[in-house]
Structures are given as structure tokens and as C-alpha cells.
């Protein structure tokens, strides 16, 4: 390198990808359905986007909460609604007992209503 030449910085393409021939990228190598090795370019984990494996899931509390909310379809079996239904059943049983007691008072235990 001559003294007047400056070292060039590597030029990055869009999304931070390095410049160069993409055919020189490492290959995935996973076994395909045809029984051959996958020829897709590998990611950081050594496999291509198709064979990279399942996500390990969210790790932060915010991500876990977001995932929990996203999975909720209708909430029928969530703990809050189960507790709410139990409370409603308990109140309904109390109400039925109350009505039975009131009916006993008004009929005087004879099964017919006492008129004043």
C-alpha cells in the first residue's frame, strides 16, 4: 500500500449485510425431504431460515406478558374467569336459599300462601 492510499472501510449493503458474493456464504446443510443437504445460506445459528428451528420464546417479563395476552382466545378458562364463575355460583346458591326461606315464611310451612 502506498502512503497516499487510504485504507478503505468495508462497504455495507442494506440492513447491515456485508458486501461480497452471497454465493460464498456458509450453507445450511440440513437434511431436506429429498435426502440431500440444504443449500440455503446459513444464519448465525448455522441453519437457514427454513431449518433454523423453533423459537425459544420470549425471555423478558414484558415479552412473556405480551405472549400470554396474544395466546388468549376467549378467556373462558383463565383463572380470573373461573374464580368469577365460582363466585356467581356461590351467590346464586345463597339467593336460592334466601328465596326458599322467604317462601317458607310466607306459606307458614304449609305449602300454601298465608294471606293477610
Helices marked H in 14-114:
61-71, 79-107
Instruction: Return the SS3 of 65.
Output: helix
The mean of the pLDDT values for the chain is: 84
Q: Which residues contact 23 (CB under 8 A, 6 or more apart)?
A: none
pLDDT at 70 over 70: yes
| Residue 114 pLDDT level (bands cut at 50, 70, 90) | low
Task: Give pLDDT, residue 115.
Answer: 52
0.75 exceeded by the pTM? no
Cell of 67: 405472549
Q: Which residues contact 67 (CB under 8 A, 6 or more apart)?
A: 57, 58
- Mean pLDDT across 65-69: 87
pLDDT at 93 over 90: yes
Task: Give pLDDT, residue 24.
Answer: 84
Domain residue ranges of the chain, discontinuous segments joined by +: 24-50, 77-108
Q: How far apart are the first and last CA of the chain?
A: 118
Question: Cβ(50)–Cβ(40) under 8 Å?
Answer: yes
8-54 tens-digit pLDDT: 776 777 766 667 787 888 899 999 999 999 998 888 888 888 998 77
Q: Which of 48-52, 53-57, 72-76 has the lowest mean pLDDT?
A: 53-57
Name which of 36, 63, 35, 38 is nearest 48 in CA terms. Answer: 38
Please name the residue that has the C-alpha cell 435426502.
35
Amino acid at each position: 500500500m502506498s502512503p497516499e492510499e487510504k485504507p478503505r472501510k468495508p462497504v455495507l449493503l442494506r440492513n447491515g449485510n456485508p458486501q461480497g458474493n452471497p454465493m460464498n456464504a456458509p450453507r445450511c446443510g440440513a437434511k431436506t425431504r429429498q435426502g440431500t443437504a440444504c443449500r440455503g445460506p446459513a444464519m448465525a445459528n448455522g441453519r437457514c431460515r427454513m431449518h433454523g428451528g423453533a423459537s425459544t420464546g420470549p425471555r423478558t417479563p414484558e415479552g412473556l406478558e405480551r405472549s400470554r395476552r396474544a395466546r388468549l382466545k376467549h378467556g373462558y378458562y383463565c383463572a380470573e374467569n373461573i374464580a368469577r364463575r365460582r363466585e356467581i355460583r356461590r351467590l346464586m346458591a345463597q339467593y336460592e336459599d334466601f328465596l326458599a326461606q322467604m317462601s317458607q315464611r310466607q306459606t307458614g310451612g304449609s305449602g300454601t300462601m298465608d294471606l293477610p
